[in-house]
């Protein structure tokens, strides 16, 4: 039932060589954090799908030598294989395609004053399956009252890691919740949005 919440598009528009959006999200998260191990349960919760669905994808990627896994008690822990010729070029591909999701969520999750955050614009459109050229930049809407200098520093850091410009736009929670005739907010709301998982209650 949970899998119906996140449709698994074949040949996702962000990187059409992949078989599904889940595969892209999983590869980006694990390959861009090679120092970490992830449990199947943790990955399923992050992606909003069942553990069985994640397990099938992990089995394919472990079998292909892209990921490696080990068991600790009843848990199965997954991490990137960094000792193969595939790792560097594949992690580069993930960085410029699905990379904004894990990198921006990680960067914004610990920033005081952030209530919610969304990617909008061309990246969000490609993520939601709209055809078109690869996004030239990544537009991020941050809802709340974080320090503007801290937001600027995060944008600069993530831009370097993605090798793509990241644009941060801040709005108050009141402005985002309320009715508005602001043309910017109107256009953002009318186009695809991808909410970042900041690990907070009530997201």
Structure pTM? 0.78
pLDDT score for 60: 95
Edge-first strand listing for the sheet containing 38-39? 38-39, 75-80, 67-72
Check residue 200 and give its pLDDT. Answer: 60
**65 token code pair:** 């030598």
Show the low-confidence residues of the chain (pLDDT under 70).
1-12, 200-203
Q: What is the pLDDT of residue 12?
A: 65
- β-bridge partners, 138: 166
Model pLDDT, residue 2: 37
Domains of the chain, start order = 2-96 (1.10.10.10), 100-195 (3.30.460.10)
In sequence order, which residues have a C-beta less than 8 Å from that of residue 48 and are 6 or more positions away? 2, 5, 6
């Amino acid at each position: 039932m949970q899998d119906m919440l996140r449709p698994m598009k074949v040949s996702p528009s962000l990187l059409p060589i992949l078989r599904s959006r889940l595969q892209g999200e999983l590869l980006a998260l694990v390959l861009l954090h090679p120092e970490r191990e992830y449990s199947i349960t943790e990955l399923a919760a992050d992606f909003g799908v069942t553990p069985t669905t994640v397990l099938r994808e992990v089995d394919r990627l472990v079998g292909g030598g892209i990921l490696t896994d080990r068991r600790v008690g009843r848990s199965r822990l997954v991490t990137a294989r960094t000792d193969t010729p595939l790792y560097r070029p594949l992690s580069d591909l993930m960085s410029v395609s699905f990379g904004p999701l894990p990198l921006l969520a990680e960067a914004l999750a610990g920033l005081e004053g952030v209530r919610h955050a969304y990617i909008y614009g061309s990246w969000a459109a490609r993520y939601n399956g709209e055809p078109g050229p690869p996004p030239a930049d990544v537009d991020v809407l941050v809802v709340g009252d974080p320090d503007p200098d801290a937001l600027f520093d995060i944008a600069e850091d993530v831009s370097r890691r993605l090798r793509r410009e990241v644009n941060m736009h801040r709005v108050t929670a009141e402005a985002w919740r309320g009715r508005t005739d602001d043309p910017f907010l109107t256009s953002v709301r009318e186009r695809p949005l991808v909410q970042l998982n900041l690990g907070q209650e009530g997201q």
